[in-house]
Chains A and B, each alone.
Chain A
Amino acid sequence: MSARPGERAAAWLLIGPFVIVTAVFVLYPLYRSIVLAFSQTFGPGASAPAGWMNFRLTLTDPDFWTALKNTGLFTLGSLCIQLPLALLLAMVLNRPGLKGRSVYRLIIFMPQLVGLVFAAMIGSVLFAKRVGAVNQVLHAVIGIDLDFPWLDVHVTPTLIIIALWLYVGFNMVYFLAALQTVDRSLVEAALVDGANPAQRFLNVIVPSIRPVLTFVVLLSFIGSMQLFELPYVMLEGPGNENRGLTVVMYLYQRAFEQGDLGSASAVGWLLGLALIVAASVQMVLARREAA
Chain B
Amino acid sequence: MTRRARRVWPHLVLVPVSMLMLVPIVWLAISAFKRAEDFFETLFFPVNEDGGLAIERLTIEHFHRLFTEVGILRSLANSFFLSSTLAILASLCCAAAGYALARLRFRGAGGLTVLVLAILVVPPPLLLAPTYELMHQLDLLDSYLAIILPGMAPAFGVFLFRQATVQSVPRELLEAARLDGMGELGIFANVALPLLRPMLGAFVMITYLAMWNNFITPQVLLHSPEKMPLAVTVANMKGVYFTDYGLQMAATLLSVAPVLVLFLMLQRDFVSGLASGAVKG
Contact = CB atoms under 8 A, between A and B. Distances in A.
Interface string A35-54: 01000000011000000000
Contacts of A84: none
Given A21-B93, A122-B28, A45 B136 contact: yes
B106 A7 contact: yes
B127 A26 contact: yes
B256 A118 contact: yes
A182 to B, nearest CB: 11
A109 B263 CA distance: 11
B104 interface: yes
A255 B128 contact: yes
Given A15-B101, A276-B121, A4 B212 contact: no
Q: Which of A115, A169, A228 has the most CB of B within 10 A?
A: A115
B184 A6 contact: yes
Interface residues of B, number: 91
Contact of A7 (B40, B104, B235): B104
Contacts of B278: 174, 177-178, 212, 215-216
A115 B215 contact: yes
B130 A173 contact: no
A177 B276 contact: yes
Interface stretch (B12-20, B47-55, B56-64, B66-74): B12-20
Contact of B133 (A44, A225, A272): A44
Contacts of A3: 105-106
B256 A4 contact: no
A120 B239 CA distance: 13
Nearest to B253: A118
Given A11-B106, A268-B128, A177 B213 contact: no
Most buried by B among A13, A14, A111: A14
A233 B31 CA distance: 19
B164 interface: no
Interface string A271-285: 110011001000000
Majority secondary structure, A binding face: helix
Interface string B100-142: 1100111101001001000101111111111111101100000
Contact of B100 (A14, A30, A93, A95): A14
Contacts of A206: none
A8 B107 contact: yes
Nearest to A43: B136
Interface in A112-157: 113-118, 120-122, 124-126, 131, 133, 136-137
Contacts of B216: 228-229, 252
Give chain A's interface residue range (CB within 8 Å of chain B).
Answer: 35 or more
A25 B125 contact: no
A3 B96 CA distance: 18
Contacts of B264: 106
A67 interface: no
B86 interface: no
A31 to B, nearest CB: 8
Contacts of B122: 26, 30, 272
A17 B101 contact: no
Nearest to A4: B178
Interface in B1-35: 7, 10-11, 13-14, 17-18, 20-22, 24-25, 27-28, 31
B168 to A, nearest CB: 17
Given A104-B14, A104-B18, A272 B43 contact: no
Interface in B194-212: 209, 212
B188 interface: yes
A8 B106 CA distance: 5
A121 B131 contact: no
A187 B13 CA distance: 23
A25 B131 contact: yes
A32 B134 contact: yes
B128 A110 contact: no
Contacts of A19: 97, 112
A173 B137 CA distance: 43
B252 interface: yes
Contacts of A291: none
A89 interface: yes
Contacts of A89: 13-14, 17
25 contacts: A7-B184, A9-B184, A11-B104, A11-B109, A18-B97, A21-B150, A33-B129, A44-B133, A45-B133, A45-B136, A104-B14, A106-B267, A110-B25, A113-B209, A116-B213, A122-B249, A122-B252, A131-B40, A165-B24, A177-B272, A177-B276, A233-B215, A265-B126, A271-B126, A275-B121
Given A26-B119, A264-B128, 15 more contacts: A6-B183, A8-B104, A9-B184, A18-B153, A29-B127, A33-B129, A108-B18, A111-B25, A114-B213, A117-B231, A121-B235, A174-B278, A216-B278, A255-B220, A268-B125
- Top 4 closest A-B pairs, CB basis? A115-B213, A10-B184, A177-B275, A268-B126
